[in-house]
Every structure is written in C-alpha cells, then in structure tokens.
Amino acid sequence: MRRAESGEVVVFDVRPEVEYAAAHIPGAISVPAAELAARLADLPADVEVVAYCRGAYCVLAHEAVRQLRAHDRKARTLGDGMLEWRLAGLPVISGVA
C-alpha cells in the first residue's frame, strides 16, 4: 500500500470487472486479464506493476505478469490475492472508478 501510495508501483486487479466492482484493494486499477493485451499501450511503461487476482491458486495474476514481462514491463504478483487480503482484515472498497 505504501509503495502504491507513493507512486513506486501501480496495482492491477486482473479479475473480471464484476469482481473488481464487488471489492478491491484501495487504489487498484481494474485491468481484467482478458483485456490486458488490448490495453497494453495505455498502461504505464515506467512504473512497476503489481498484479493480483482471487487468491493463492488463481493463475490470472501470474499470466498477466508473464504477458507484461514479455513486453518489457517491470511486473510482479502480489504475494496474496483478494481472498487472503480480506481474511487478513485489510481495507477493501467497492464500486468502479
């Protein structure tokens, strides 16, 4: 959260938009994995991307990171997904920007 708030990283929620609207990490940008390739040119090229999805066994964030790295973008997955985030009692918000 600190790194995102300071602009060091941008956080991508790569779950489908309906899941993002239900609850997401504050400050996260909705970039569904299925839309990533089409939106790549619109995404920041000079900031590290941290991607997350549903939980520890969800592959969407890993696939997004592979795709971003293939286009020479600095990217990594968040250690946990939305499930673990919520179970830890960390803040979430709902709605779309």
Give residue limits of the domains in the chain: 2-87
37 closest CA partner among 21, 8, 7, 14: 14
Predicted model pTM: 0.91
pLDDT at 11: 94
Nearest 5 degrees, angle CA 82-CA 85-CA 87? 110
Residue 33 has pLDDT above 80, yes or no: yes
Interstrand relation of 48-52 and 75-77 (parallel, antiparallel or unpaired): parallel
31 closest CA partner among 81, 88, 96, 85: 96
Task: Show which residues are catalytic.
Answer: 53
Nearest 5 degrees, angle CA 35-CA 68-CA 88? 80
pLDDT at 6: 81
* CATH (residue range 2-87): 3.40.250.10
